[in-house]
Structure 1
Amino acid sequence: MNEKVKTDYRVKYEQLLAEFSALEANEQRQQDLLRSLLNRVLFAVDKAYPELATTCQSLRDVMRKTGDAPLPIAVLQPGIEQLGEAIRRIEASSLAPDRAELNEQTQAAEKADVRDFLPLLLERVAFTEAMEARRAKLLEVLQNPRDLTLNSVLIDRAASLINDMRRALEQEKIELTEFLQQLTDALSEIDQSTLMNLGDVQTQRESQQALNTAVTAQVADIDRTVADATDLDELKRVVRERISRISEHIHSFRQAEDQRLNTVELENQAMRDRIARLEVSRSHLQEQLVASTQKMLRDTLTGLPNRLAFDERVTLEVARMRRENGALCLAIWDIDHFKKVNDTFGHQAGDKALHVVGKTLNKLIRDVDMVARYGGEEFVMILPRANLQQAFVVLERIRETLANTAFRFKDQPLKITLSCGVAEFSANETHEAVLARADEALYLAKANGRNRTEMAH
């Protein structure tokens, strides 16, 4: 096995280890989202059903004890099922006449709370293509004001969907782990083969040395015989005998060498076949990982980068800004009166509006900029190498273009405007802090009449 092949596979091995680490980081983000979902659900249950506070607290205790470790789903599942069953009993009893009036406002508030935060959560979780249909169907139910599905059922469906997503990531992780183990074994075989080849080289040297010693000894005998010979016939006989022995030594050496070379070639061919199979597996797995990563970083509705992609990109841009001592701005966009669009034209129109707005924003940004869907009707934008005033000019141009664009839905005119808040990084400021200031500027734009851009100071 030559050094180039060994080096290539060690490089690929290190690349796969890096991809494995990225997969683990992605799994941690999914864990964080699941933890956030459970906390929000427990908060909603506490608010709507004070009598279930003890059950909620026991679930929180289990979550707290895990620390940063993955949530123990098997341990939490019985408590979650018990909580869901308790909610179903309470909701069923609330239909009785003596409690209907008392619980009407509580149920409405709790229903609104669940149906408000679950869509936001589901939009922020990156689902695989296989699970996207389930997510879209659940969102459709959540956004239907006429739907009568119990909140406990909706929560169960959302939790089940995220759990299935987590299990899919776990399976992906297992497959990658198995392949890495195969690759590790192959590298061990290559190392072993290298040691064997070194042993073969040593054996060959010893065989050659033995042949040289034997030939030298026979030649020396011939020299002595010639020097001491008195009979020509006897001399010829001895020389022929010595030459015959030399030929036998050479023949034995060649046979042993041929056998050794045949064995080495068989071992090398077996290793080449193994490496070829590993290469096919590696290519297939790498394609799956690339496709999976791309899906994880894309918002399925708009096709734009999602919040995870934004977090990755903004980290790179902040590092670049500090390295170059340059400028960097973050902006938040929000579609004006988006709820009115949904209520007037339906959620299909709302989804269409999000898709068109996202596509338009992506067309209007500079080459160095990035726009991502942040959740709901909000979009975030990264503007590298632009100070606050420069970013304001870019954003105003985009806002005016959108405001003057004629949108239509099913041949009906649809007026869409956006409000925007923008903030510039200051020394040692985190991107979360800059986003918070941009968000304050966005609220100011809303308060000042919408369809405008405000700068954070």
Structure 2
Amino acid sequence: MSETPKEAPKIDYRERYEQLLGEISTLENNEQRHQSLLRTLISRVLFAVDKAYPELAADSQKLRETLRQSEDGPLALDRLQPSIERLAEEIRAIEANNLTPPRSETLTPEENAAQIDVRDFLPILLERIAFTEQLDGRRAKLLRIIQDPKDRTLNSVLIDRAASLINDMRRALEHEKTELAQFLQQLTESLSEIDQHTFAHLTDIQTQRDSQRALDEAVTEQVTHIGQTVASATDLDELKKEVRERILRIGDYIQSFRQTEEKRLDELELENQHMREQITKLESTRSFLHEQLIASEQKMLRDPLTGLPNRLALDERVELEMARMKRESTPLCFAIWDIDHFKSVNDTFGHQAGDKALHVVGKTLHKLIRDVDMVARYGGEEFVMILPRANLQQAFVILERIRETLAGTAFRFKETPLKITLSCGVAEVQPQETSETAIMRADEALYRAKSNGRNRTEMALIK
């Protein structure tokens, strides 16, 4: 008789199913953040259009109406895109036909402010969106164009490129969600197949029990007949003949049972082998997808230029530390760093030097913070630092030590020494205060540090 097949390793599919559902939820939350940023971008761009191109106010108003209609759900990009493209085409036609004055020459202050606003706002938007590694190169190239004071690219073209980049990022997220949904569907089908196999296995066990019961009854019947024959036999030859026939029948019953059992076990082994192959394939796919999701989430929470956590990661950590502060009644401070005269570095040495400075500063800040602290790139040349369990005076001492170390660090770009200093503003979160208000106070303190000569740390005033 064949050996009983080994049991396949037990896998908690319910736990993995719930884990994957949680990962889908994370992707959906990230998409909601991007949708919110995209809504803000469109609103700010339409504001700029109203100021710079009053004749297009009716078209921009229609776009606003379409935007408002999708406030309670995902952006209706299929409805927005044709209108945005049409508006961009109208702007190109106006500028090509010189129907508006040249930029910054005869524009009114309000119109000129709207033109500048686009180039000021787009970098902030692009810095705060976590792009995939494949799209980050395009983001960096577009940022260099936007921030180049000599560039004469039309604002409408810059807006088109930014919108295209964000849409591509959204499509990448949709593709990732689709892959995960397909895997969940595959997992559901495999679980259903396993359920069917389990049911069939239970049925098979019942069949085996019935067969064993039938064999037992048949053997018992023949043994009973042998006993009765022996008890009533008068002829020895007849007795031998009867006993021999009964024993042969018992042998036939056992042989038939053995053949049936071997056939059943062979079928069961084939079924088990198929299920093991299915489980192995499912496990391999799950592991690959899980690794992809982890890598994707890490990229989504990491600034590719500095290697520091980005704005999304900062928001998550701020929420955790605010909850810890309230739960444990411990102090918490936020600090904002800004590289002094960063624009002059870009203008004098080029964006490559600026990128190098950002990378070195980010790496140095990360090396100098305490184990419990966190530093993240906030956007542009700004960095935000979280200092748990430190009051305002303690945080000031820590930040001053870091600032002095940075000021004494020798920066070089292609053998050219660069003098890099940073200004800092710090605020301690007050009872009943939100994180947004505390960070805003730290930003105001940073502004004072800039106004008071730079390369210094200022503490936020309590309002």
Same fold (TM over 0.5): yes
Q: For residue 247 of structure 2, what is the amino acid of its counterpart?
A: I
Residue number among 368, 393, 398 corresponding to 2:397 in the alignment:
393
Q: For residue 274 of structure 1, what is the amino acid of its counterpart?
A: Q
Q: For residue 315 of structure 1, what is the amino acid of its counterpart?
A: E
Aligned position for 2:282: 278
Distance 1:417 1:455 in 2: 18
Shift of 1:265: 0.9
Q: Structure 2: 5+ residue runs without aligned partners?
A: none
Decide whether the 8 Å contact of 2:52 with 2:112 is kept in 1: no
Distance 1:56 1:320 in 2: 45
Note if 1:355 corresponds to 2:359: yes
Distance 2:204 2:361 in 1: 69
Aligned position for 2:147: 143
Specify whether residues 425 and 58 from structure 1 end up closer, same or farther in structure 2 by C-alpha distance, changes over 3 A only: same
Shift of 1:372: 0.4
Distance 1:3 1:55 in 2: 68
Aligned position for 1:220: 224
Aligned position for 1:118: 122
What does 1:139-288 align with in structure 2 at a 5 Å threshold?
139-288=143-292
Specify whether residues 2 and 34 from structure 1 end up closer, same or farther in structure 2 by C-alpha distance, changes over 3 A only: farther
Aligned position for 1:46: 50
Distance 1:360 1:199 in 2: 67
Decide whether the 8 Å contact of 1:421 with 1:441 is kept in 2: yes
Q: Mean alpha-carbon deviation: is it higher for 295-304 or for 446-455?
A: 446-455
Shift of 1:4: 8.0
Distance 1:318 1:350 in 2: 33
Aligned position for 2:66: 62
Secondary structure, counterpart of 1:305 in structure 2: coil
Q: Mean alpha-carbon deviation: is it higher for 136-145 or for 151-160?
A: 136-145
Note if 1:441 corresponds to 2:445: yes
Aligned position for 1:84: 88
Decide whether the 8 Å contact of 2:448 with 2:458 is kept in 1: yes
Is the helix fraction higher in 1 or 2?
1
Residue number among 321, 338, 341 corresponding to 1:337 in the alignment:
341
Residue number among 418, 422, 429 corresponding to 2:422 in the alignment:
418
Q: For residue 231 of structure 2, what is the amino acid of its counterpart?
A: A
Shift of 1:79: 0.7
Q: For residue 184 of structure 1, what is the amino acid of its counterpart?
A: T
TM-score by length of 1: 0.94
Q: Mean alpha-carbon deviation: is it higher for 230-239 or for 175-184?
A: 230-239
Shift of 1:258: 1.0
Shift of 1:336: 2.0
Secondary structure, counterpart of 1:334 in structure 2: strand
Q: How many aligned residue pairs are there?
A: 457
Shift of 1:200: 0.8
Q: For residue 39 of structure 2, what is the amino acid of its counterpart?
A: R
Write out per-residue CA displacement over residues 91-147 of structure 1, whole angstroms, 9 at most, x where no aligned residue: 123268999964486775444222211112111111112112211221121122222
Distance 2:302 2:434 in 1: 24
Aligned position for 2:413: 409
Q: For residue 92 of structure 2, what is the amino acid of its counterpart?
A: R
Residue number among 298, 303, 312 corresponding to 1:299 in the alignment:
303
Residue number among 10, 14, 17 corresponding to 1:13 in the alignment:
17
Q: Structure 1: 5+ residue runs without aligned partners?
A: none
Write out per-residue CA displacement over residues 24-69 of structure 1, whole angstroms, 9 at most, x where no aligned residue: 1111112112112111211211221122222112111111111242
Decide whether the 8 Å contact of 1:306 with 1:372 is kept in 2: yes
Decide whether the 8 Å contact of 2:366 with 2:375 is kept in 1: yes
% identical aligned pairs: 70
Shift of 1:393: 1.1
Distance 1:93 1:168 in 2: 38
Aligned position for 1:432: 436
Q: For residue 252 of structure 1, what is the amino acid of its counterpart?
A: S
TM-score by length of 2: 0.93
Write out per-residue CA displacement over residues 354-404 of structure 1, whole angstroms, 9 at most, x where no aligned residue: 222111111111111110000111100111222222111111110111122
Q: Mean alpha-carbon deviation: is it higher for 313-322 or for 118-127?
A: 313-322
Distance 1:232 1:322 in 2: 100
Q: For residue 152 of structure 2, what is the amino acid of its counterpart?
A: L
Secondary structure, counterpart of 2:73 in structure 1: coil
Across the aligned residues of Structure 1 and Structure 2, the Cα RMSD in angstroms comes to 2.3
Q: For residue 220 of structure 2, what is the amino acid of its counterpart?
A: T
Shift of 1:5: 4.0
Q: Mean alpha-carbon deviation: is it higher for 201-210 or for 229-238?
A: 229-238
Shift of 1:20: 1.6
Write out per-residue CA displacement over residues 292-318 of structure 1, whole angstroms, 9 at most, x where no aligned residue: 111111112212110001111222222
Distance 1:240 1:2 in 2: 40
Decide whether the 8 Å contact of 1:120 with 1:375 is kept in 2: yes
Secondary structure, counterpart of 1:454 in structure 2: strand
Distance 1:11 1:397 in 2: 47
Write out per-residue CA displacement over residues 310-355 of structure 1, whole angstroms, 9 at most, x where no aligned residue: 1112222223333333222211111222223333333333222222
